[in-house]
Structure 1
Amino acid sequence: MGRVELLHCFTSDHRPLLPTLDPNGESKKWKCKPFRFEAMWTADSGCRNTVARAWATHVDGTPMHIAAMKLKSYKKKLKKWSRPHFSNVKKQ
């Protein structure tokens, strides 16, 4: 969501615009952090197996839809796999 506010300018007949991208704290509604592939995962053999299973998933549709759904499956499976194997590496 976004909002545009008209500001006052007393030295011109033009009014500046102030765009706001997050007026009501919309970003706080997104609790999940974005997915990031971690290079350290490649050191574990489970990573290769998890990726292979994700790409082997059968999906019908256009090539772009198939790729998007396989990427979604890949992300979900890697997140689920990495949680017990690596937990929170930054805290450790």
Structure 2
Amino acid sequence: MKINPLNFLQKVLNNKAKIDETNNVNKKDTVNISEEAKYMAEVNKYKEVLKKIPDVRTEKIEEIKQKLKDGSYMSKEVYNAVADKMLSDFLEL
């Protein structure tokens, strides 16, 4: 009985490896992003921008400054209201 050399098997394996390499070179990865995902990304971008904008109401600040200047806050009613608010906020913790 004659045993054939393994060279033939090695050639077949080498050819298969070359074919696999060629197929892999021609393949390209692709990514598809849904419209909903694009929309959510845009919404999140705007949320981040809004977080950076300070929440300042200039009209309210000016009103408070004026009341501090004219002494409107220097009364027992205001002191009691502030104390009540501070106490209720503290108790909510």
TM-score, with normalisation over the residues of structure 2?
A: 0.25
Scaled by the length of structure 1, what TM-score is found? 0.25
- Larger strand fraction of residues: 1
Structure 1 or 2, whichever has the larger Rg, is 2
Bigger proportion of residues as helix: 2
